Amino acid sequence: MEQGKDGTIYVGKTHLSWAGAEGLIALKYSRKPHLAIDEIALTKTGFKITLNADATKARATSL
């Protein structure tokens, strides 16, 4: 992992990592809030997932 002068973070991946295939990923902050999981709880019928914001289709495609 390395950080560029513009703040971009570069991460090298191997086939042994959880993220999948080998390669190089560049992560750059877009100044837009991201949608993230706050909590996952087990229920009698499955899981309840709580996010940090409303997960509308329009919001998900604009991130």
| Beta-bridge partners for 26 | 10
55 pLDDT above the threshold of 70: yes
Which of 53, 52, 49 is CA-nearest to residue 41?
49
Sheet holding 2-3, edge to edge: 2-3, 9-13, 23-27
Shared domain for 25 and 48, answered yes or no, is no
Q: Are residues 25 and 46 in the same domain?
A: no
- Whole-model pTM: value is 0.46
Domain ranges, residue 42:
33-63
61 lies in the same domain as 37: yes
Assess whether 38 and 19 both reside in one domain: no
Based on the domain organization, do 54 and 40 belong to the same domain? yes
Residues 37 and 59 in one domain: yes
Average pLDDT over residues 9-35: 80
* Number of folded domains that form the chain: 2
Output the pLDDT for position 42.
96
Q: Are residues 40 and 57 in the same domain?
A: yes
pLDDT at site 46: 95
